[in-house]
Structure 1
């Protein structure tokens, strides 16, 4: 690539670095802006003095120094831009941030299509319009928020552009997030405004496509609206997991590729009709704008449209190299306008994928043409270039990598444009029902192909591999992507043998490492662990998932937040079925992984549901063959040769509402299982009351510490338990400070040995004649206590 094509690269990188710094540490924004502007003035003044006093300097060096000084000034301006934006919006964000911890009446405007969360709520990006706290008047606000409400809270459904009035609990969003607070809706919401004629009609078109699609056979029916207009409401959990595992989930998100397909289709139709280049570009731009309105102009869609517009315009004009400079300019402008884009994976992936389409895809296609016809090579080069470029970024955030993503994309991606274009034509012709039905049925064929590809590839052995997200895995995948790209692009004669050997070595080592790691974590995982364990604490992040085994029967206490991580834990222990599932309560970190057990559990013992979403989750388990029982103090039962008992909550008149303090407290002992007490998420107050009304009598051998080791504990309860081993089920990355130092000190004072899933990974415990044998995933040498 020529140097002039990269001139804006340092400018974009400076804007990105400044945006990251300012959104994570907004209190530094004024300093960053003043330092950058001051430095720009100094650099400009120094260049002016140099030009006034230059003598004897060669003309070529004069040009270079002038260009360098200009670049420094532009880079400093790019640093100041995001900082200025953060400063301007900080007062409004601070006003909304003051709502943290309060229950407020708010009016919000929905900005994105709602998506179901694993907690049963519908989640959407929104903009706060007004808010009122008890004791305060109504105040106008203007800041982004994240909204979560019950699926049936809004009559007539929720769509972008809708303004609703509701009561919600406000919690502060994480650092670097665009949303200032997260609003947890309570009860029903009142629709204040549907957003006007255009949003209503766009939603009507989307719903018509969904209704048409669902009359067609599964699994292609559910996927069609997602491929055409990015609406995934009809996609069930199983198909969604398959799309994620196979690396095809990007096909159902409104991304740059969807926008590019629409632009290219419009451009091609006008070309076939004999229109000139100017007319083609105008029609393509209008079509892209209409597509954005149809799929809803949420921020991610506008961003994708901007990226796709840059890429397609440069390609259609026959100047792909110039397109890279335009892309860098677009990235810089977007970061100045919205600095919070810098911290989102979607923006990074969109920018990098667009750059790969412009820069990497053509040489990859040329390299592949050594073994296949060029048109086929060009088709394969697009997903392959995107995968090579985006892999390192994905590794920064994702804890699972798809090993069959490239293959699945090569098989399925060619069908996506067909489904998108024909699906959109079905939307356009909705006023001719017979034609719209015919087009939807035609689009179903490629949609079914993609869904089937996802399901088949996701079930292949070693389809995904668990990899810790972070910088080191990203660096490793970057090296692998560079080696693969080099081997594909360059012919063997074009570079020295040692360089080719180095690239092949990197690919071979990475392949061997990934395959070996996948085998050890997958099919061979049970062989790498002790076989005589009776208690296992899964490493599933911030959440609970504890397994008890006696005489071949399995009890699982809570499911953690994510079906995929729970499934990984069960597979590592060779568990295919659960005899008893104890759901202590329904918070996401305890019940979010339930879908992984659908059809694989016999009996469910659960705490009190908190709402309709919890009831539906239980009904799903029941419909798949499970028997449901609500837990109450005094219930007993058998697990193999072990006996268990429920100590809390009290029924039929519970003391606390459903949630943490109504968690099921469960004890088990006998049959090879050391006496164990599991305390759910009880607070200190609930622990004290339980002590007064229940027979919590020590000593226990093991205690699962309440609420991941929060500070709100009752020391007398743990003194009574007198456990020899205290297990903390906690995630390495949590913003709560769990486990708290005072809780750790309290347990250590009782003489308990501390075991933590955040530090030691999966924990397996066996009872032997000598005592407890403890095996931990990150301390491979077993120890005895």
Structure 2
């Protein structure tokens, strides 16, 4: 299966996702399909009953919202379109990369067998049916179907014909990746000059920590090659889908991005990302390009290393200046770009969260969403809100035509009846609204899904035909797969269909069950929708993230109240920005309140210690989770009928998620009472915490991951930090700073005076400035105390001394004392600086210590004289499991143990805490 767009980032690195936007619970797509609900039974029956409309019986489901009516009152579900849709889906997924002869064979067999079945049915239709009046009552049509005469054959024929159509479409789309000159040139790793037409917005790869540095980001563009010049000078016209990776130079400052908001706004930053490039210079020009723009690039063609996606080759553009534009974007795209640019301008003055989220809610522009907020949305399964899925379009349709359940009634609500627009004219205007939605939000898969479902709803309004919800969903799946077979391998498409199906089948029943247990209708429908979508989508999400969220349902439930106002006000801002910017800014300010509420929900949910559990990230794990979900649902039905047991289960669940520190300490023993020092398990990086009183601690280094740093500090109960010491500016020591600062009172940040790498030093200053935290420099000889904790800076020497050879040798080195225990923190000092430390005046302070934080993750670069001089009783090594650097080195471990030290390492022991006093040192592991 094809993973979501983020996997193109992975292709750019190796040539994540494995990140982007699989909308795990997209309830709105179901609401899109809900527009195809039957024309109100009251109106239809009124036309058929001779007694007139006043005497027409009204079906209860016709006047109720989705999920409000008892599902069994609506009769059996029409499932005839489901098998053809599933057949087309499966066939497209299997034949996209199949050989041509296999595709032709599948198409031929399906057509022949399907046609034969239809002909056989036609022949049987002319066979006279004997009159059995003399023998008994005449059988009706339903009985004939039950006896299996014509309809099963028609159904099988429909399945085969749809499979044939899907195979033909998939075969043609798949052939685009193999035929023509571009794939051949990619296999030769040839350097080419190509004219490419952009088919998506430019976006940046996610900043990624690679050891002590942040891997450089690049601009990614989906495009089609229209003209290629081979190395021998031959020019060929072609049409091949490619991924363009531009290693352009960045501007002076800004943030990284996952997706750039094109349309004259080159600043596309993920504010708060370490070392994230800005939007100026060449990169900013690339990021400002619009879809349908044609540019000429000189690039190296390489094969696509990630299969299952619509990429015939990868074109790597290495610098070379700004793009050479051959043809400007179309007028429609330029207009849409101006709208998106106006939205960004209108949100410029808002706080960081609203500024980041509003463009995402409206047009899917996530370029300003910082990494930590994006991770919070993933941890709480709220990413579908940023995917421009059916949620946005459904809200617009509901605003215009009214709630789907009432859209075809005389009592219909919405703007259309208030403006006096007739019913069928409403469908036409809705169609124009659908087209505009697709253009402005770009024809991405999630947008096409929403538009397809919405179009079915509008067709139902225009024709007045009564359709059930499941056939509408099946029709949307069938049409989308035939139009774009690559959706058959899209996890986002799978999740959207699963969520929609759950909302159409499970949610009404669960809502009715909750209402029978005296839950009010509104909360019952919302809770049933969130729970049903999560239940069916969780196994697939587990495959993608290897984690199961325990807070997804409550977070989606709480966010639902803010989604509609944020989206409606956001679209109003988009529409008014080109003509009245002050009004647009006022609307954006109003929208910032619900947007901020959603951000707070995501951060709060993700910060819960029990927000999620790790799970096998494969299809076996998905099957296991599906079984667990069924068991939980069945058990939940029994528990809900017993209030006391239900209340007890709810309390247990809350305790598991919240994990109050006193209870956690009582059960797990972590952190141990009276702990003095703690080394967090943050992977390949460093974070050390020095206890300074109840809920107070000095933090030395922040590690590479904000989430891991925040999780460790929460487990330790740290809420106040008088000082954060960053030993040096390598990414594995500073990139997690946002997690350290999150929701904590911080007095100051102290750093080394050697400000390299420059981009990460700037990142630290931006983080401090955003929170108004002063930044100071550590110099040898400084002494500080807080509570019972005191420390002395031993290194680096004053700036008048010799310049260090690199960031590692400029690491802040501290000798810490607490309750008689001594701890030596060496940062990442290498042998040259270690020997200089031994010769410095600070060496007088050294002597034997109780605990040493081994330099540079236990690498082989250690000075044996320093190890012998400090003679630690306990050596702590912060290191990531299965790291690529061979840390810790066997020679370093042997030297430490030879000196009598007990060695503990985070990759094997997890987080480590030291407690007790000099006479009785105790060690605990998390």
TM-score (norm 2): 0.61
Secondary structure (helix, strand or coil) at the match of 1:285 reads: helix
In structure 2, relative to structure 1, the CA distance for the partners of 1:462 and 1:425 (3 Å cut) is closer
Deviation at 1:539, TM superposition (A): 3.1
Deviation at 1:621, TM superposition (A): 0.8
Deviation at 1:259, TM superposition (A): 2.2
In the alignment, structure 1 residue 565 sits paired with structure 2 residue 708? yes
Distance 1:611 1:172 in 2: 34
Secondary structure (helix, strand or coil) at the match of 1:764 reads: strand
1:256 to 390, 414, 433: 390
Counterpart for residue 158 of structure 1: 288
Per-residue CA distance 1:301-332 (angstroms, 9 max, x = gap): 44554466567767996321202322442564
Counterpart for residue 144 of structure 1: 243
In structure 2, relative to structure 1, the CA distance for the partners of 1:124 and 1:648 (3 Å cut) is farther
In the alignment, structure 1 residue 89 sits paired with structure 2 residue 177? yes
Per-residue CA distance 1:503-558 (angstroms, 9 max, x = gap): 99997897465433334475644553123444433234x44242142665844343
Per-residue CA distance 1:486-506 (angstroms, 9 max, x = gap): 799xxx8xxxxxx67899999
In the alignment, structure 1 residue 465 sits paired with structure 2 residue 614? no
Per-residue CA distance 1:675-700 (angstroms, 9 max, x = gap): 454438xxxxxx57657866599999
Deviation at 1:655, TM superposition (A): 4.2
CA contact (8 A) 2:347 2:588 kept: no
Secondary structure (helix, strand or coil) at the match of 1:254 reads: coil
2:718 to 550, 575, 579: 575
In the alignment, structure 1 residue 285 sits paired with structure 2 residue 435? no
Counterpart for residue 681 of structure 2: 539
In the alignment, structure 1 residue 727 sits paired with structure 2 residue 903? no
Distance 1:249 1:228 in 2: 14
In the alignment, structure 1 residue 605 sits paired with structure 2 residue 751? yes
Query: Cα RMSD (Å) of the superposition?
Result: 6.0
Counterpart for residue 657 of structure 2: 518
Counterpart for residue 690 of structure 2: 549
Distance 2:652 2:301 in 1: 45
Counterpart for residue 55 of structure 1: none
Distance 2:766 2:98 in 1: 54
Counterpart for residue 620 of structure 1: 767
In the alignment, structure 1 residue 451 sits paired with structure 2 residue 596? yes
In structure 2, relative to structure 1, the CA distance for the partners of 1:125 and 1:299 (3 Å cut) is farther
CA contact (8 A) 1:292 1:301 kept: yes
Distance 1:668 1:97 in 2: 57
Distance 1:597 1:537 in 2: 17
In structure 2, relative to structure 1, the CA distance for the partners of 1:546 and 1:16 (3 Å cut) is farther
CA contact (8 A) 1:480 1:507 kept: no
Secondary structure (helix, strand or coil) at the match of 1:7 reads: helix
Distance 2:699 2:640 in 1: 49
Distance 1:257 1:389 in 2: 18
1:591 to 735, 748, 765: 735
Deviation at 1:151, TM superposition (A): 1.7
Secondary structure (helix, strand or coil) at the match of 1:559 reads: coil
Distance 1:625 1:649 in 2: 26
In structure 2, relative to structure 1, the CA distance for the partners of 1:754 and 1:86 (3 Å cut) is farther
CA contact (8 A) 2:550 2:612 kept: no
In structure 2, relative to structure 1, the CA distance for the partners of 1:246 and 1:714 (3 Å cut) is closer
- Show the 5 A alignment for 1:93-108: none
In structure 2, relative to structure 1, the CA distance for the partners of 1:642 and 1:430 (3 Å cut) is closer
CA contact (8 A) 2:296 2:323 kept: yes
Deviation at 1:198, TM superposition (A): 3.2
Counterpart for residue 322 of structure 1: 471
Distance 2:649 2:624 in 1: 8
Counterpart for residue 568 of structure 2: 421
In the alignment, structure 1 residue 127 sits paired with structure 2 residue 222? yes
Deviation at 1:562, TM superposition (A): 3.7
In structure 2, relative to structure 1, the CA distance for the partners of 1:462 and 1:728 (3 Å cut) is closer
TM-score (norm 1): 0.70
In structure 2, relative to structure 1, the CA distance for the partners of 1:71 and 1:517 (3 Å cut) is same
Distance 2:158 2:587 in 1: 56
Q: Bigger shift: 281-290 or 548-557? A: 548-557
Distance 2:448 2:362 in 1: 17
1 or 2 for the larger relative contact order (CA 8 Å, sep ≥6)?
A: 2
Distance 2:865 2:194 in 1: 44
Deviation at 1:602, TM superposition (A): 1.8
Counterpart for residue 42 of structure 2: none
In structure 2, relative to structure 1, the CA distance for the partners of 1:315 and 1:95 (3 Å cut) is farther
In structure 2, relative to structure 1, the CA distance for the partners of 1:350 and 1:60 (3 Å cut) is closer
Deviation at 1:230, TM superposition (A): 3.7
Distance 1:74 1:376 in 2: 40
Per-residue CA distance 1:615-639 (angstroms, 9 max, x = gap): 154133145343434678x686667
Distance 2:660 2:675 in 1: 18
Counterpart for residue 386 of structure 1: 533
Deviation at 1:571, TM superposition (A): 0.8
CA contact (8 A) 1:356 1:389 kept: yes
CA contact (8 A) 2:687 2:703 kept: no
In the alignment, structure 1 residue 7 sits paired with structure 2 residue 149? no
Distance 2:603 2:386 in 1: 16
Per-residue CA distance 1:40-62 (angstroms, 9 max, x = gap): 989999999999xxxxxx99599
CA contact (8 A) 1:246 1:404 kept: yes
Secondary structure (helix, strand or coil) at the match of 1:468 reads: strand
Q: Bigger shift: 764-773 or 40-49? A: 40-49
Distance 1:745 1:159 in 2: 52
CA contact (8 A) 2:569 2:587 kept: yes
How many residue pairs were aligned? Answer: 724
Distance 1:692 1:79 in 2: 70
Query: Which residues of structure 1 form unaligned runs of 5+?
Result: 23-28, 52-57, 493-498, 681-686, 732-736, 778-785
Per-residue CA distance 1:112-152 (angstroms, 9 max, x = gap): 375796679887642378999xx999999952256685223
Distance 2:244 2:458 in 1: 33
In structure 2, relative to structure 1, the CA distance for the partners of 1:238 and 1:338 (3 Å cut) is closer
Distance 2:912 2:349 in 1: 48
Deviation at 1:572, TM superposition (A): 0.3
In structure 2, relative to structure 1, the CA distance for the partners of 1:213 and 1:50 (3 Å cut) is closer
**Higher radius of gyration, 1 or 2:** 2
CA contact (8 A) 2:610 2:659 kept: no
Distance 1:302 1:66 in 2: 30
Distance 1:503 1:392 in 2: 28
Deviation at 1:587, TM superposition (A): 3.0
